[in-house]
Amino acid sequence: MSASLPSGLSDTDLAAIETVRRLAEKTLAPLAASVDENASFPSDQLRSLAEIGALGMNLPEQWGGPGLSALALSVCVEAIAAGCASTASALTAHFLATDAVLIGGDDRMRARILPKAATGDMLGAFALTEPRAGSNPADMRCTALKTTSGYHLSGVKHFISNGGLADFIIVFAVTDPAAGHKGISAFLVEKGTLGFTASQPEKTMGLRGGHVFELSFECDIAAENLVGPEGSGFRTAMKVLDNGRVEVASMCLGIAQVALDAALGWVKQRMIGGQPLAGYQGIQWMLADMATQLRAARLLTEDAAAKRAQGMRFSQEASMAKLFAAEAAGRIADVALQIHGGYGFVRDLPLERHMRDLRIMRIYEGSSEVQRTIIARHLINQ
């Protein structure tokens, strides 16, 4: 069951949402179990999304996008995650990379990268996290030293979605160690760059098709591949992550909606004691709590997306949406599995997959603890 749409959507928005929902239902959902079972990267699914313009949904028309609103983007990401969370993870990782070019790059770099990324001719990755700098990216050890022709990039990034498959990677590195987070810069590293290597995909608990890699860099980067001025990387990364957190919240909505729908279908047909489970007050209250939490998460996500669309500052709203949606979705999927009893625990039904896919949502793109810190700082400093 698709959620009702937020108000204020254009005809272009509505057409895109309908197209994405149809593809997610007919193409992505039937393959989701196989993607998970085989831990296969959803290349064909991304190609199908590219054919309808979905790989550029976060981009303005000037750079190859369809010109969707941030609200429509959120609804589309929700629909894709409802169909296949691994595909949504790979897609939103691509969005992080293209957002970084859009926000931090100059027009020459945008023209070189974004139109091809929008059509699916180039896949992107966003390399911020390191083995010793996850929740605190300002503590990164990856460095970029100036050379006569550009920079020498040296270091390791970890848990990078799409990293070993991407055609371009936005890599963050320290260019001025004395300047703290103001000494971090961003670089565009292209596939095949000498001195760049990627591990095999990590074996993950969930999102098994959304491959993550450890990346090693010992390579020379042309000066033209610096994304924005030196020292602007951290600011670019934080703006990108604000966008990404709304998209993670949207993914959570999609998976939680599927879990709630499964619970509703089950309680209507599962007979216990001569009546459907739906006839028991205890079950009814569980469903009521699930629906209320999902509605609250959706409203927080819509609020953050609306502020993003208006060009307003939305860091606090993005953190609130990501925090609440990630934690609420985990609870909703858990209760949905509980309602199914032993049947929910077997792999013939998708609930255990939904629970595994949702678990990372409280960790990546800023853990729940990091989101609480961001929210508290906004409250204290306002």
Q: Encode pLDDT of 108-124 as tens digits.
A: 999 999 999 999 999 99
Q: State the CATH architecture for 11-119.
A: Orthogonal Bundle (1.10)
pLDDT at 1: 59
Instruction: Tell me the per-residue pLDDT of 66-95, one tens digit each, with 9 for 90 and over.
Output: 999 999 999 999 999 999 999 999 999 999
- Taking the domains of the chain in order of start, what are their residue ranges? 11-119, 124-234, 241-381
| Predicted confidence band of residue 133 (pLDDT cuts 50, 70, 90) | confident
Residue 229: CB atoms within 10 Å: 12
CA distances from 377 to 142, 248, 303, 370 (A): 27, 21, 20, 11
| Predicted confidence band of residue 132 (pLDDT cuts 50, 70, 90) | confident
Instruction: Tell me the per-residue pLDDT of 16-68, one tens digit each, with 9 for 90 and over.
Output: 999 999 999 999 999 999 999 999 999 999 999 999 999 999 999 999 999 99
Q: Determine the average pLDDT of the residues in 253-270.
A: 97
Residue 301: CB atoms within 10 Å: 31
Catalytic residues: 365
Pairing of strands 168-174, 124-127: parallel
pLDDT at 327: 98
Is residue 13 over pLDDT 70?
yes
pLDDT at 228: 97
pLDDT at 7: 85
Least confident of 149-153, 217-221, 343-347: 343-347
- How far, in Å, CA of 169 to CA of 166, rounded? 7
- How far, in Å, CA of 360 to CA of 367, rounded? 9
| Predicted confidence band of residue 382 (pLDDT cuts 50, 70, 90) | confident
- For the 124-234 domain, the top CATH level (class) is mainly beta
CATH fold group of domain 241-381 = Butyryl-CoA Dehydrogenase, subunit A; domain 3 (1.20.140)
| Predicted confidence band of residue 2 (pLDDT cuts 50, 70, 90) | low
| Predicted confidence band of residue 197 (pLDDT cuts 50, 70, 90) | very high
Beta bridge partners of 272: 275
Instruction: Tell me the per-residue pLDDT of 342-363, one tens digit each, with 9 for 90 and over.
Output: 999 999 899 999 999 999 999 9
Give every CB contact of residue 103 below 8 A, 6+ residues apart in sequence: 236, 239, 240
- How far, in Å, CA of 298 to CA of 325, rounded? 8
Average pLDDT of the chain is 96
Instruction: Tell me the per-residue pLDDT of 301-311, one tens digit each, with 9 for 90 and over.
Output: 999 999 999 99
